[in-house]
Amino acid sequence: MLNGVTIPAGQTGLEDIEDAIENLFLHENLGPFISLRLIQRLVKSNPSPAYISRISAVFSDNGEGVRGDMAAVVKAILLDEEARECSYQLDWQNSKLKEPLLRYTQVARLLDKEHPSDFYWNQSDDFLDKAGQDILAAPSVFNFFQFNQSPQGAIRNSGLVAPEFTLHDARTALGYVNAANEWTRRPGRILEIADRVLEQDDILWDQSELDALYEDGESFLNWMDLYLTAGRMSESTRAAIRYVIGEVGIEDNYYFQDRLWHGMYLALISAEYNVIR
């Protein structure tokens, strides 16, 4: 085995497996290997070597002599200076493209929903086709993308990686936009249940809690900035959404509530929502 370890002869198959796993668990490269991948999934695509080293140290010893304490590792990742300090947040390299499924689950959990039978689940027949990702639908045991994948262009030319861009192409980019339109248009189809399960298969966006906001464009913009873009909505994005919702409902109050639809739709397809920084 690695590092010259020899598994004793005459053991059971399960004992051999346990010894092999222990050999891998104790290998000095395991900490950096796991730390890089966890940081990429939770914080940023291109962590510095120092960031990886700090997390690897916690993996090796949680402060109490325990190796592989994953709770301590995740806590260290999320509380590290590269994940928290403003100087890093201002750097465009301190970011990652949000996976399509995470874009969806964030808004699905955020918005109030209604169904006549209080039955909430999502069969999600078409999200894989539209956005390139769905639960338990990875094309192989290596999941949807590899940690070192980089799209051609500015990112690769800068020596950086962006694994999630494996799922982001001309087809899926438009597919996600179309999906976001379905979630937010009146009345908004948030979850999907097959007709064969229930007679009523639409789980709709309940907009009633936001009724007080759609008449005041700035309050609605501030709400979306807080809950969708983590306070990072740029002035250019705000201006674009402000202009669109300002044009809705002027002539007929019946359509005034469509400000919610248009505003939410534009926020969900904005760069600030789709990129974690």
Which of 38 and 108 is assigned the larger pLDDT? 38
Specify whether 118 is located in the same domain as 229: yes
Single residue among 89, 119, 152 that ends a domain in this structure: 89
Single residue among 89, 120, 142 that ends a domain in this structure: 89
Length of the chain: 277
Q: Using alpha carbons, select from 2, 92, 95 the residue that is nearest to residue 42.
A: 95
Specify whether 170 is located in the same domain as 153: yes
Report the alpha-carbon angle 203-204-210, nearest 5.
145
Question: Residue 212: pLDDT above 80?
Answer: no
Residue 39: domain span:
2-89
Residue type, 235: E
Report the alpha-carbon angle 67-56-165, nearest 5.
125
Largest CA distance in the chain: 85
Q: What token pair was written down for 241? A: 């959404």
Single residue among 56, 89, 122 that ends a domain in this structure: 89
Digit-coded pLDDT (tens) for 120-155: 777 776 788 889 998 888 989 889 999 999 999 999
pLDDT computed for residue 265 by the predictor = 94
pLDDT computed for residue 250 by the predictor = 58
Structural domain count of the chain? 2
Q: What is the mean pLDDT of residues 40-50?
A: 95
d(CA 76, CA 68): 13
